[in-house]
Structure 1
């Protein structure tokens, strides 16, 4: 292995240990053979090509350089984002802003997102399978006003209905002005028709449960 390859592999080990990640799920999340990471860590595979290293880094929500920076242990000063609570994807979840702003559990801020004004929620239920699974984290930003802006229509959104229930659904126009249909992606799940929403915000980023680093 080259020095850079060894540094990437050591950084990968450190990150996987910190996040309690398993070899096969990470390999599959990166679009690689199920045994790729296992063989790499055991020295049974050649040094990862740059394309494979990029895939693994992307699956971790990082760059190759950021993975390498972990070779000497976890870097300090990583920005974090608060997890506000859970949001329903089939399961009925009451008001999910269960913590004072910024006081909830924290998760590392994914690369490319500013930690300012961004909130994470945990998915509960399976109505958005196969895109979002229970335990996954969704990141979103609210515009500071209780409203349903026109640019959320047709997109997967985090939203709150007038009863105070939090949802992640695809939002479509309802049968009357001010009403909305909340559409599930799982064909076996129910949709919610003609509801009023307090607010809705598009999902900016999705992190599978097994890849998110809670702190």
Structure 2
């Protein structure tokens, strides 16, 4: 968790005048160790918990805006190859906290419609995960042929092969995945283009 959020939480905890056990109960956690986990950065402070802490302490919510570098395009039906020249196409700032190293891509195609539409901005983790860890999750994946897609990852017929499923198109069966990155959020094209 971000150190500024932990610092804000610690200050709010002091300002509210309640014990950690009482705060845990107010947050609906029903156990004090959860407060210690938040303070140590081992547990993420959820948005609704921040609102409650703000009310208990009288402290304003911290600024949780995040700048997302939009690195290129991701295919959802359209064949898309990464742009990796080091410069983002755009920087989009949103008023929400996202995991560190979150990056963005613009969706091309309609194979994941209605979940993702052509032109939507998707934020995803900049940290690669093993394909095995992506099973059952919607992720950005890079295939051996260089395409970058947003798909749900399923097990293929043989070890090391995966089937990529869409909501609106045939599966892409038994492909090798170079990397997978966790999907974080979607922002409709009408919204992100107005930022």
Q: TM class, shorter-chain normalised?
A: 0.5 to 0.7
Q: What's the CA shift for 1:103?
A: 3.6
Structure 2 residue 80 is matched with structure 1 residue 93: yes
Q: C-alpha distance in 2, partners of 1:118/1:182?
A: 22
Structure 2 residue 98 is matched with structure 1 residue 107: no
Q: What's the CA shift for 1:213?
A: 4.7
Would you say the 8 A contact 1:108–1:214 is kept in 2? no
Match of 2:126 among 122, 132, 142: 142
Secondary structure in structure 2 of the residue aligned to 1:93? coil
1:150-180 CA distance string (max 9 Å, x none): 3311111111001110000010011000000
Aligned to 1:174: 156
Q: What's the CA shift for 1:142?
A: 3.4
TM-score (norm 2): 0.62
Q: Say what the alpha-carbon RMSD is for the aligned residues.
A: 2.4
1:75-110 CA distance string (max 9 Å, x none): xxx64211010010010111x24330x543111135
Where in structure 1 do 4 or more consecutive aligned residues deviate above 6 Å?
none
Q: C-alpha distance in 2, partners of 1:212/1:87?
A: 16
Q: C-alpha distance in 2, partners of 1:199/1:112?
A: 25
Q: Which has the higher contact order (CA 8 A, sep 6+)?
A: 1
Aligned to 1:82: 69
Aligned to 1:196: 176
Q: C-alpha distance in 2, partners of 1:207/1:124?
A: 14
Q: C-alpha distance in 2, partners of 1:134/1:178?
A: 30
Question: Which is strand-richer, 1 or 2?
Answer: 2
TM-score (norm 1): 0.56
Q: C-alpha distance in 2, partners of 1:103/1:84?
A: 5
Would you say the 8 A contact 2:163–2:172 is kept in 1? yes
Give 5+ residue unaligned stretches, structure 2: 1-50, 52-64
Q: C-alpha distance in 1, partners of 2:150/2:119?
A: 13
